Structure formats: structure tokens, C-alpha cells
């Protein structure tokens, strides 16, 4: 199977914590949509696999007009072999959603929504410079549930002044709505963002790691108690509602990236488009090479397996390491993983290594310690 990711590089306004590629100037929107449909056609000749997932990310894809989605999806369906039941996800901001728009989006074959609520607490929404307020967030879920069966909601924790009380308030709303999927992330301080500037200037203070860890544990326990499965570090789903797109990514399936800054993976190479809207359009129009490519080494593939395995419920299989790589990699892993097993950060079951509850919080750091370093470069 394979998937298609479409990056829509536009937003109404800049969220204070975000450093993704986007523009608040929509003057070039039509040119970008035309270039996206051209890139879809161009990359079709290199793809022989069945497309099982289509994901509109950004940016804010819900800012697009309905005819923009029609152009993009028509281009995909005309040029690729599509599976019988593809998951087609749209990332959406609450303030973009109306009952009429949702009905029309569903007519365009979009069958899954990922709503960027982040919080229902007004103070937190204002700090993040979100375009919606709490009432709009609640209303967006209410009307979405009338039309869509598969809904995910984003929830941030680790914010300045966030607490177990604010988390409990947010989780209580989400569980009462019984949404199928929740993506819950600790906020990170990204370079060149307003939030980074506020923290450096002492205007706000992020909680320390111990507080963030307590919030991480609280989110996990509350969501699991409400019958959500924590199938990946930041992903919680009701049974049968795992994100196919997310699952494919964490299992290192192939995907095609379309649009400015979009990344692709063909099983051997990673590539990424230029992160500049004008240059992206110019290069698509000229037919020049508009993406950079990195061929992954055996060690790169091993390190990615370690990282994704530690973050997910599927863990790291010792047998897979030996079969996919070789005994050298297996022995290297066993030597370096021992201290994390002894510290109860990783548990073993039938030669599959998985992070414990505490270990999941430290998964990325543990993975970096288990990476093999390629000294040949």
C-alpha cells in the first residue's frame, strides 16, 4: 500500500507555537493548487502501488474552497489506482467548519476529519493565537459528529499555566463527545516562533519536565480509562479507529508528498520539496528538479525502525532486526537496550521490546541512545 500527503501551505493567522511552512497571504492560492495538481500527475508515473490513504495537512487545509478539493481529488483519482476503502483525512480548524461545508466536503469523498482544537480553555487558546474560541471548538465537534463518523481531535498539554485541572476539563469534553481518535501532544518550543520569543523574554514560562511528565501520565490514564488505545506515543483511538495514515507512517510504509515542503518516502529514499511557495510554483512550471533526495543506508533504516518501534504499541522485534538487518545489529541492540530494561523503561514479551508507561515519555531520547552511528561518512 501507499499513501498521498498533500501540504496546503496557507493559514488565516500564525499560531504562536508553530514553525511549519505556511503563508497567511492567499494571493497565490490558485497557482499553488494548479501546481499541486500538476505535481500529482507528474509523480503518478513513478507510483505503481495502490493508494490507501490521502491526507490533507498544512498549514490549514480547511481554508480551501470546495472546488480546490475537487480539483486535487479528481487529479488523484484519475491518475492513481485507489483502494476500495481509502481513508481521506482533512485537517481542519474549528472556525472553518459549518454544517453546509461539512456536507459538501463529505460529497468530495473526504471521510475523516482531524480537528485542530488544541484546548477548550480560553486563556490557552489566546496564548497560542488560535483563530477559534472554546465555543467554536465545541460547536465544530457537535456539527461534525452529525455528518462524519470518523473524527480526530488534537489536544496540547505542557502549556504555560496548564494543570491537571485544565487537562481534566479538556478531556472531559472530548470523552463526553466520544470522539473516535485523539492526538495529544506536549507543546514544544520551536525556533523562530512567537512562543520562543515570549519564553526568552520572560513573558511566559513553560512547565518543567516533571510537570509535563505528570500531565503526560494523566492524559494516558484518563484516555485509557475511557476505552482509548494508546497505539502510538501521542495517538489514542477507539477500537477500529486507528488512523490508517498515521499507522502507515509509523510502520514505515511508502508515501508520496505533494505541495511545498512535503516529504516523500519510497522505501529506499526520502525526498522533500522546497519550502517556498513561489519557488515551488516556478520549479513545477519549469519542469526542473524541485525536491532533494537522501538515500537511506542500512543503518538509517535500522535507526528509523528503532525510533518508530519505541513510539508504538507494536514495539521492536528482535527477530525482525535479525532477519531485516543481521546479527551484528541484533547484538548491538541487545547490548545497548539492557540498561533501559534494567531501569524498567523497556519491557520484553516474546522477544518484542516495548516502552513502559514511563519509558514512552522518554521514547525519543531512549531511541537516540540506541541508534547505531555510521562512522563511514
Rounded distance between C-alpha atoms, residue 187 and residue 170, angstroms: 15
Strand order in the sheet with 346-349: 316-317, 352-355, 346-349
DSSP 3-state assignment of 156? strand
What is the sign of the dihedral through the CA atoms of 77, 88, 314 and 368?
A: positive
The per-residue pLDDT for 1 is: 66
Closest among 223, 225, 226 to 235, alpha carbons compared:
223
Cβ atoms 114, 62 nearer than 8 A: no
Cβ atoms < 10 Å from Cβ of 44: 17
Closest among 261, 188, 200 to 18, alpha carbons compared:
188
The per-residue pLDDT for 238 is: 98
Rounded distance between C-alpha atoms, residue 375 and residue 377, angstroms: 6
The per-residue pLDDT for 190 is: 87
Cβ atoms 204, 195 nearer than 8 A: yes
Cβ atoms < 10 Å from Cβ of 243: 24
Rounded distance between C-alpha atoms, residue 20 and residue 22, angstroms: 6
The model's pTM is 0.95
The residues pairing with 272 across neighbouring beta strands, listed in sequence order, are 263, 292
Full 3-state SS string of 49-102: CCEEEEEEEECCHHHCCHHHHHHHHHHHHHHCCEEEEEEEEEEECHHHCCHHHH
Cβ atoms 83, 114 nearer than 8 A: no
The answer for 340, left when phi > 0, alpha when psi is -120 to 50, beta otherwise, is alpha
* DSSP letter, residue 12: S
Rounded distance between C-alpha atoms, residue 184 and residue 228, angstroms: 12
- In the chain the domains, ranked by start, together with CATH numbers, are 2-250 (3.20.20.70), 298-370 (1.10.10.920)
Strands 2-8 and 254-258: parallel
* DSSP letter, residue 312: B
* DSSP letter, residue 236: E
Rounded distance between C-alpha atoms, residue 164 and residue 217, angstroms: 10
Q: What is the number of residues in the chain? A: 377
Successive 10-residue mean pLDDT values, the chain, 377 residues:
92 83 85 96 89 95 96 97 97 96 97 97 92 95 98 96 93 96 93 88 91 95 97 97 96 95 94 92 81 92 97 97 95 97 97 96 95 75
Rounded (5°) CA angle 146-151-153: 120
Cβ atoms < 10 Å from Cβ of 205: 10
Rounded distance between C-alpha atoms, residue 241 and residue 181, angstroms: 7
Rounded distance between C-alpha atoms, residue 319 and residue 299, angstroms: 17
Distance between terminal CA atoms of the chain? 33
Amino acid at each position: 500500500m501507499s499513501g498521498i500527503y498533500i501540504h496546503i501551505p496557507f493559514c488565516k493567522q500564525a499560531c504562536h507555537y508553530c514553525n511549519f511552512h505556511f503563508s497567511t497571504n492567499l494571493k497565490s492560492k490558485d497557482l499553488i493548487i494548479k501546481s499541486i495538481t500538476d505535481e500529482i500527475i507528474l509523480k503518478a508515473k513513478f507510483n505503481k502501488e495502490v493508494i490507501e490513504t490521502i491526507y490533507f495537512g498544512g498549514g490549514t487545509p480547511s481554508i480551501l474552497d470546495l472546488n480546490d478539493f475537487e480539483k486535487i481529488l479528481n487529479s488523484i483519482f484519475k491518475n492513481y489506482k485507489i483502494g476500495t476503502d481509502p481513508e481521506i483525512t482533512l485537517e481542519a480548524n474549528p472556525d472553518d467548519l459549518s454544517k453546509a461545508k461539512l456536507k459538501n466536503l463529505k460529497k468530495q469523498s473526504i471521510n475523516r476529519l482531524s480537528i485542530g482544537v488544541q484546548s477548550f480553555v480560553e486563556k490557552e487558546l489566546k496564548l497560542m493565537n488560535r483563530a477559534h474560541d472554546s465555543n467554536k471548538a465545541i460547536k465544530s465537534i457537535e456539527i461534525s459528529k452529525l455528518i462524519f463518523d470518523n473524527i480526530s481531535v488534537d489536544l496540547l498539554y505542557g502549556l504555560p499555566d496548564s494543570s491537571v485541572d485544565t487537562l481534566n476539563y479538556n478531556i472531559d469534553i472530548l470523552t463526553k463527545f466520544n470522539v473516535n481518535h485523539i492526538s495529544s501532544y506536549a507543546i514544544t518550543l520551536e525556533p523562530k516562533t512567537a512562543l520562543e520569543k515570549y519564553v526568552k523574554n520572560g513573558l511566559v514560562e513553560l512547565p518543567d519536565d516533571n510537570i509535563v511528565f505528570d500531565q503526560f501520565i494523566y492524559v494516558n490514564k484518563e484516555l485509557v480509562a475511557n476505552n482509548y488505545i494508546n497505539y502510538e506515543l501521542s495517538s489514542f483511538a477507539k477500537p477500529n479507529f486507528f488512523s490508517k495514515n498515521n499507522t502507515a507512517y509509523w510502520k514505515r510504509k511508502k508515501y508520496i508528498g505533494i505541495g511545498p515542503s512535503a516529504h516523500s518516502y519510497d522505501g529506499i529514499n526520502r525526498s522533500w520539496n522546497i519550502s517556498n511557495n513561489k519557488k515551488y510554483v516556478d520549479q513545477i512550471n519549469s519542469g526542473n528538479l524541485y525536491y532533494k533526495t537522501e538515500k537511506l543506508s542500512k543503518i538509517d533504516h535500522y535507526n528509523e525502525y528503532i525510533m518508530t518501534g519505541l513510539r508504538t504499541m507494536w514495539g521492536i522485534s528482535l527477530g525482525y532486526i535479525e532477519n531485516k538487518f543481521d546479527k551484528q545489529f541484533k547484538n548491538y541492540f541487545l547490548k545497548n537496550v539492557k540498561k533501559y530494561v534494567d531501569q524498567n523503561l523497556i519491557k520484553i514479551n516474546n522477544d518484542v521490546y516495548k516502552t513502559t508507561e514511563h519509558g514512552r515519555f522518554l521514547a525519543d531520547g531512549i531511541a537516540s541512545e540506541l541508534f547505531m552511528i555510521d562512522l563511514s561518512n
